[in-house]
Amino acid sequence: MKIYHNPRCSKSRQTLALLEENGVEAEIILYLNEPLTVKELKSILSKLKMKPFELVRKSEKIYKENYKDTTLSDEEWLVALVENPKLIERPIVVKGRTAVLGRPPENVLDLI
């Protein structure tokens, strides 16, 4: 199991704690320090069954200043997310061919 984690995010910390409380040793990927590639992000989105725009954090300053009133294709959103990883909703937990967004953190229980 992998968790795409931001230690500064309370939901991300809560999700990681929930995994640990259930005896799961997840590989922690600090995606802000280790940016995803477009290929990796496509794979994650496929497992989440989401489109790139659905994974965008619309409360982020970067979104409000640069993307709020724009219409981008899925490919353009992929590039925007890779170039601006703060825009990626978090945490994301992946197990095999399935993934969930840890909002709320209890979503992760579906993977355990």
Residues assigned a catalytic role: 9
Token pair of 88, please? Answer: 């990626």
Structure letter (DSSP) for residue 11:
H
Cis omega (within 30 of 0) on the bond before 52? no
How far, CA to CA in Å, does 26 sit from each of 29, 35, 65, 73, 111?
A: 9, 18, 34, 33, 12
Residue located via tokens 């969930």: 100
Residue type, position 45, single letter = L
